[in-house]
Amino acid sequence: MRFARAFIQNINATFKPVYTPNDSPENCTQFSLNNTVDICADALVKNSNAFSVSRELRIAPANVIVPHGKPLLSYRYLAAPFNTRVWIALGTYVFLISGFLCLIHWLRSGKWDYSQNLLEVYSSLLFTGFHLKAINGIERYILFGVLFISGFVYSTMYLGLLKSMLISETFEKQIQTFEELAESNIPLLIDPYDRMIFQHHHIPKSLWTAVRTVSSETLLNHRNNFDQNYAYVMFPDRMDMFVYAQQYLRHPKFRRIPIDICFLFAGFPMSKKWFLKHKLSRAWFHAFESGIVNKMAWDAYRESVGQGYLRFPITEHLEAKPLGLYYFMMPTISLVLGYSVALLSFIMEVIACKLNCTSKYRCG
């Protein structure tokens, strides 16, 4: 719009705005067919049946923007530093070492004390101090060295990773591909005009499963209010405006999937009878070459926010809140995990005691 007005003013023409019911490009197409307007202050893909466009200068790829990953809930930090394979390896290590300690203790004294040895292994992993008093001889020093090194490495890595996550904040897994978008069950909102473009320019099939077609008013209402329940498709001009509006947020509400789709040549749509097409194309080329277009775009972003078309999203406030249910999730999980391990140890002790009594060994 800013460039169109500057061009019309430069050639001493008269600027008479014609307002449309909404921002849908279909209005421009209809007005051009009816010869209601000479030019539309928008960038549209060429449509020889309805209008002609100014000379295209660059390819405009579309991108999908998706909601930014939500902050990780506090209780999930307990398991966040290690992935599933590491936790499985750690559990296997605890089980094998505890069993090995019990076996040595049984061979030395004829007693089976699984719970005590399990606590020794846990103490080594927590790096809180362990003694192995029930084991004597050279085996004690060898096992002490193994437990000390393993516990030191585990506790140092775990606490280091946990501290870095707490300082920098950790988020849920970000959506990086169209397949992940489809799996996340987040609808991709488009209007009828976008659907027509995508049908002609073949977007990936994996993206169609997430597409939901709505009216232009509904799309703008959700998109301009940064509704994170949906994903959206944007071309570079709209994308840059949304990046501008999110510049003061600590964490952006939306992020771009780094995959370009629907490469288009776009230009100013105008009536086929308008005789200033070549002059407008030449002026647009010189403005693009000199950097004036970038300056006008930046001014347009600021003006769109100033006039309320797109508002700066509200920054997240750090304020005191009453404790919610999630606050008690971490101690609850730790308590349940501790009771489960204690119950497992008790069952193993009872089974071992009965086996020893059956075999006429002394039960400790």
Q: In the chain, where are the structural domains located?
A: 44-72+171-306, 81-169
Q: Which pLDDT belongs to residue 231?
A: 94
Q: Which pLDDT belongs to residue 249?
A: 86
Classified as helix, coil or strand, 176 is coil
Q: Which pLDDT belongs to residue 162?
A: 87
Q: Which pLDDT belongs to residue 359?
A: 60
Q: How far apart are CA 357 and CA 238, in angstroms?
A: 78
Segments in the chain below pLDDT 70 = 48, 50, 134, 315-318, 356-364
Residues 350 and 283: beta-carbon distance below 8 Å = no
Residues 208 and 163: beta-carbon distance below 8 Å = no
Q: Which pLDDT belongs to residue 94?
A: 87
Classified as helix, coil or strand, 59 is strand
Q: pLDDT by residue (tens digit) across 147-168?
A: 888 888 888 898 888 888 888 7
Collect all residues with Cβ–Cβ distance below 8 Å to 20 and sequence separation of at least 6. 27, 28, 31
Collect all residues with Cβ–Cβ distance below 8 Å to 147 and sequence separation of at least 6. 97, 120, 121, 124, 130, 132
From 3.10.20.600, 3.40.640.10, 3.40.30.110, 3.40.190.10, which CATH number describes the 44-72+171-306 domain?
3.40.190.10
Q: How far apart are CA 153 and CA 146, in angstroms?
A: 11
Classified as helix, coil or strand, 150 is helix
pTM: 0.72
Q: Which pLDDT belongs to residue 364?
A: 47
The secondary structure of residue 249, as a DSSP letter, is -
Q: What's the chain's Rg over C-alpha atoms?
A: 33
Collect all residues with Cβ–Cβ distance below 8 Å to 269 and sequence separation of at least 6. 28, 29, 32, 39, 40, 42, 44, 47, 50, 51, 52, 53
* The residue type at 328: F
